[in-house]
Amino acid sequence: MKYGALVSSTIEALEELENFEIHGSSYPWGESIRNQIEFIKTHAEDKKNPVKELGDGKTFNYGIISSRNLTSPEEMVLKSKLDCVTENLRNLWED
């Protein structure tokens, strides 16, 4: 169940990120966020904790990137979806 929720939230975040790209907006940080969310999704689909798959000393920084760059009402939709990924990822902290 935890992994399913995480996969669902990553799919929603990736779809929203794609919407930004389709509308022609240039987001230089978009590729970094996409790569991190896809990494999370891939491991969650395999029922592996993405945090543990990163390796020692590494962390996800998509939350920091989104906090610094997503401020308009339209961008807050994407930030909300990324925050949902984070919440679902926290549910796996101990797995």
Tally of structural domains, the chain: 1
Note the pLDDT tens digit of each residue in 2-39.
999 999 999 999 999 998 777 666 678 889 999 999 99
Tokens of 49: 């904790």
Quick one: pLDDT at residue 29? 86
Amino acid letter for position 13: A
Residue 56 · residue 44 · CB < 8 Å: no
- Is residue 36 in some structural domain? yes
pTM score above 0.95:
no
Q: Whole domain around residue 60: which residue ranges?
A: 2-90
CA distance 95 to 29: 29
Q: What's the mean pLDDT when you consider all of the chain?
A: 90
- Is residue 16 in some structural domain? yes
- Is residue 39 in some structural domain? yes
CA distance 92 to 23: 34
| CB atoms closer than 10 angstroms to residue 83 | 16
- Is residue 95 in some structural domain? no
CA distance 49 to 93: 8
